[in-house]
Amino acid sequence: MDVFNDLGQGILALLTIQNILLLGAGVMMGMIVGVMPGLGPSAGLAILLPLTFTLDPTGAVVMLAAVYYGAMYGGTITSVLINTPGESATVASTFDGYPMAKQGRAGPALVMAAVASFVAGTIGALLISVAAPVTAKVAASFGPPELFLIVILGLLTLIVIVGKNRLLGALSALIGFGLATVGIDVGGGAQRYTFGSTELINGIDFIPVAIGLFGVGEVLHTLWRGGHLEKIGYFSISVRGRGFWPTKEDRRESRGPILRGSFLGFAVGTAPGAGATVASLMSYNLEKSIDKKPERFGKGAMAGLAGPEAANNAASAGAMVPLLTLGIPGSAATAVLIGGFLMWGLQPGPLLMEQNPEFAWGLIASMYLGNVMLLIINIFFIPVFASIARVPFRVLAPIILMICVVGTFTVNGSIIEVAIMLACGLLGFFMRRYGMSPAALVIALVLGPLGEETLRQTMLISDGSFGIFLERGTSVVLIAAMLFIVAVPLIAPRIRRGIQRTLAEVARRRAANRPGTEQQLPAPGTGSTVAGGEQSPVESSSGAPSDPPAEGQTPAGEPLPSSGERR
């Protein structure tokens, strides 16, 4: 029960007027950035990071956590109202959220999504409290070889599971590692790739890179594809309007999906690199597979929105476990978060909870309080945020670019860093355009120094032999995990087919209890269609099991309307 005492003390320590105001401001600003087209949590955190520089470390961490959650939820609003996910983690929310809005049920959809986020965030905070100390204890026994392998494993997971083109993902990570080598060599003090510039001696700061890749890069990409010509349509929403609040049926229907999504999302989120996108899509598939009326999915089923929303938020909490205990960011947003912590002299890793418990528990507590604030602000300010989603991109684009320039300048007062930010913006545009992964680049940039240091220490221990990785039990386990991750693309279809068959069987049994529905459901194993002839998200058009719906696709495999198609 010590952990809950620690959590309770962490929450009490944060309950000051200043921290509560910072929480509120963080959630508000995170949501404002989150609802802007094309800007996800990573861009939001990167752009808003400079705002925390004048705060004390606790206040800064509280605000960052609030921005993180706010931005995560901001994407849901655009998913539901204009069918445009702010980032990939909220793609699953469009499947049923947007049809609900079309039916005039945008209010219940957004309120239940907020409740799902709150419940999942709360469960996530409690699960972190249990999982983080245990993981930290295990990680404390790790030596440099294991930490090096963890760095590689995290990146590998990101590249294999999330990336569309794995080779391009790996190249993105290598570019990040390469950028991380700029500056003074930590081992011997030699200058590397500084070209005589004093500005580069301390290396390339990750903030200009993150703001450039995620902020400017996204804006340029949207401009290139004509986002400034779009005509936005939307569904108006009012707290006073009839039908704003979820019905009793909505609440009853959401209970199971929210709980299942919370635990599933947390578990998936703890795997470095897997993240919220995978969690939300898995939750959607799970809910659709076990629902008594799967034919409603894609047409406005509350379970199809509540489950993925919960999973998405719980995964954000789960990602905190490897971040706090191993120092490994599991996603682009947590990579920006870790960069912010490093700026405050806080080095996440196995010793953090031992040496800096007030920070670690303060962060976990602030995530919990951030959820409470998110729920309050969400429900009463949904119409306000919905109105921000209506501001056309042609007006937002110059404003975002200006914020990026000013925000980067305020970090160190360096115009060189602003130029680096702009260059990274162009790089980010081309990376997006040609299928590379800006997230892998930023994570590698943040992890590069840790990777190099641990590799150096490993080579010192082993006298330059790579055989050390095969001599230590934990290292061998980690290498086996890496081999498994690499083999995932080969074995995933078989595993998915097995899971699909099991879930279809469960659904069939449940449906069999309802008279007159059995004939509508697929037989186990065939699984290519669900009732109504709609294609299951986990099945390809050939009927063979395939990946979950790709980013930007509906459950039926159709492309999502882009921003240009908003009506």
Partner 1 sequence: MTSAVDESEAAAGTGRRLRRPSGRAIFLGIVLVIVAVYTDMAFDLEWRTQAGRIGPGYFPRIIGILGLVLTLALLVISLRAGAVDGEEELGDEETGEADLGRHPGTMLLVVTATAVLVALFTSLGAIVSCAIFLAATLFLLNRGHRVTNVVISLALPVLMYLLFQSFLNAGLPDGLLPRF
Residues 161-220 that bind partner 1 (CB under 8 A): 164-165, 167-168, 170-171, 174-175, 177-178, 181, 185, 187-188, 190, 192-193, 216, 219-220
Q: Which two tokens stand for residue 442?
A: 């930023």
Q: Which residue lies nearer to partner 1 by CB, 89 or 170?
A: 170
Which segments of 352-479 are extended strands (E)? none
Report yes or no: 285 and 507 within 8 Å, Cβ to Cβ: no
Sites for partner 1 among residues 535-564 (CB under 8 A): 550-553, 559-560, 562-564
Which one, of 181, 184, 180, lies nearest residue 445 by Cα? 180
* Ramachandran sector of residue 525 (left: φ over 0; alpha: ψ -120 to 50; beta: rest): left
Sites for partner 1 among residues 21-50 (CB under 8 A): 50
Q: To the nearest whole angstrom, how small is the minimum distance from the Cβ of residue 118 to partner 1?
A: 29
409-444 per-residue burial string, b: 16 or more CB within 10 A, e: under 16: bebbeeeebbebbbebbebbbebbeeebbbbbbbbb
Q: To the nearest whole angstrom, how small is the minimum distance from the Cβ of residue 301 to partner 1?
A: 22
Q: To the nearest whole angstrom, how small is the minimum distance from the Cβ of residue 407 to partner 1?
A: 8
Report yes or no: 107 and 243 within 8 Å, Cβ to Cβ: yes
Q: To the nearest whole angstrom, how small is the minimum distance from the Cβ of residue 14 to partner 1?
A: 21
Per-residue x/- marks for partner 1, 445-464, CB under 8 A? Answer: ------xx--xx--xx---x
Q: Which of 239, 403, 479, 531 binds partner 1 (CB under 8 A)?
A: 403
Q: Which residue lies nearer to partner 1 by CB, 187 or 543?
A: 187
Q: Which residue lies nearer to partner 1 by CB, 518 or 558?
A: 558
Q: To the nearest whole angstrom, how small is the minimum distance from the Cβ of residue 23 to partner 1?
A: 18
Q: Which residue lies nearer to partner 1 by CB, 166 or 251?
A: 166
Contacting range for partner 1; rule: CB under 8 A; set: 7-15, 69-77, 127-135, 405-413: 405-413
For 406, other C-beta atoms within 10 Å of its C-beta total 12
CA atoms in the 13 A half-sphere facing the CB of 8: 5
Asked whether position 343 contacts partner 1 by CB under 8 A, the answer is no
Q: CA angle, corner 470, sides to 464 and 476, nearest 5? A: 135
Distances (CA, A) of 39 to 33, 215, 218: 6, 7, 7
DSSP string, 124-146: HHHHHHHHHHHHHHHHHT--HHH
Per-residue x/- marks for partner 1, 119-158, CB under 8 A? Answer: ----------------------------------------
CA distance 313 to 286: 16
DSSP symbol at 563: G
Q: Which residue lies nearer to partner 1 by CB, 33 or 314?
A: 33
Report yes or no: 162 and 279 within 8 Å, Cβ to Cβ: no
Q: To the nearest whole angstrom, how small is the minimum distance from the Cβ of residue 2 to partner 1?
A: 38
At position 248, the amino acid (one-letter code) is K
Sites for partner 1 among residues 464-483 (CB under 8 A): 464
Q: To the nearest whole angstrom, how small is the minimum distance from the Cβ of residue 319 to partner 1?
A: 24
Q: How many residues bind partner 1 (CB under 8 A)?
A: 75
Q: Which residue lies nearer to partner 1 by CB, 79 or 500?
A: 79
Q: Which of 409, 501, 505, 547 binds partner 1 (CB under 8 A)?
A: 409
CA distance 154 to 321: 13
Per-residue x/- marks for partner 1, 215-254, CB under 8 A? Answer: -x--xx--xxxxxxxx------------------------
Per DSSP, the chain holds a count of helices (H) and strands (E) of 22, 2
Q: To the nearest whole angstrom, how small is the minimum distance from the Cβ of residue 445 to partner 1?
A: 12
CA distance 300 to 291: 14
Q: Which residue lies nearer to partner 1 by CB, 188 or 345?
A: 188
Sites for partner 1 among residues 345-384 (CB under 8 A): none
